[in-house]
Amino acid sequence: MNDFTNSFWSLYISIITLVGILACVILLWKTAKKKLIGNSDNTTGHIWDENLKEMNNPLPLWWVGLFVITIIFGLAYVVIYPGLGSYQGSLKWSSKSEYDADVAQANQALKSIYDKFDQMPVQQVAGDPKALAIGEHLFMNQCAQCHGSDARGSKGFPNLSDSDWLHGGSPEKIKESITKGRNGLMPPMATAVGAPDEVSNVANYVLSLSQSPHDTLKANLGRSKFAACTACHGMDGKGNTALGAPNLTDKIWLHGWGEPAIAAMINGGKLNQMPAQEERLTTSQIHILTAYVWGLSNKSVKVPSQ
């Protein structure tokens, strides 16, 4: 991938740009110096369709003038704007700075709306219809791509509308997850568990923890090997929110259910990442988004509205 990000491509683009402008200058200069030698009737001698003759006239001055203006414009552009690879241009303009300025302007215009909710606790914001409308728009723009428009997630992406939370479902933890993101890691455990038969036994034991269909004999054999997993999931298999280790007793399977899926997790492990939103959203927006997400799994809780 670094083949497309190293300095060679900046130099390549710069050379192509300058050679193109120079070629236009040379073409115009050569054309201006060339003397036209035609027939006595000022034609080139080429005739089409019996009577359509090609005239041997010089380029019109207005056309030459436009050509010169185009060359001057091209040179001025690559000096003022970033048109030569990594060169930033004399104005130091960039699409990112333009975007950042637009975002800052929009945030300033909306500041009076957000200020009202900044002073309210998350639970109270969750009871305000206007705040929830804003939170829904933020969720659709920033979160729905992974968690779905209904927030019920999919394989590999947690359901945000239930009470099962890997890192805790309190307003503080939700805000922390949105702000800083999360890196979920389950290391491969095949070496610690043992042979494929023993991995199968542990997988059946894990299924037995949630009373899911399983092989009882294999589950009994896998109980002792499950000790390799207790550092994260606990002796009872109910997980650890401090580590983001899931509860194995609640029949909620983030990465697939059944012996093959669990065995694959034990053998290969899993790395999941939720991107941080602190550079994309303001603290006020994160506050409202937290209230929206918290409200998805606490709809039965009566929250005071202002």
User: For the chain, what's the residue count?
Assistant: 306
Summarize pLDDT for 95-153 with one digit per residue, the tens: 888 988 998 898 888 888 899 899 999 999 999 999 999 999 999 999 999 999 999 99
Same domain membership, residue 34 and residue 72: yes
Is residue 232 within 8 A of residue 287, CB to CB? The reply is no
Same domain membership, residue 172 and residue 282: yes
Q: What CATH number should be reported for the domain holding residue 235?
A: 1.10.760.10
Q: Which residue range(s) make up the domain with 157?
A: 99-181+275-296
- Residue 287 pLDDT class (50, 70, 90 cuts): very high
Same domain membership, residue 279 and residue 177: yes
- Asked if residue 56 belongs to a domain, the reply is yes
Same domain membership, residue 192 and residue 149: no
- Asked if residue 88 belongs to a domain, the reply is no
Lowest mean pLDDT among 28-37, 85-94, 193-202, 246-255: 28-37
Is residue 222 within 8 A of residue 205, CB to CB? The reply is yes
User: How many domains are contained in the chain?
Assistant: 3
Same domain membership, residue 248 and residue 196: yes
Same domain membership, residue 194 and residue 55: no
Tokens 């034609």 sit on residue:
43
Last residue of a domain, one of 80, 108, 127: 80
Same domain membership, residue 285 and residue 250: no
- Asked if residue 265 belongs to a domain, the reply is yes
- Asked if residue 125 belongs to a domain, the reply is yes
- Asked if residue 85 belongs to a domain, the reply is no
Q: Which comes out higher in pLDDT, residue 8 or 198?
A: 198
Same domain membership, residue 220 and residue 175: no
Same domain membership, residue 197 and residue 267: yes
Residue 289 parent element (H or E): helix 283-296
Same domain membership, residue 13 and residue 74: yes
- Asked if residue 279 belongs to a domain, the reply is yes
The whole-number average pLDDT for the span 290-295 is: 96
CA 130, CA 125: separation in Å to the nearest integer? 9
Same domain membership, residue 166 and residue 213: no
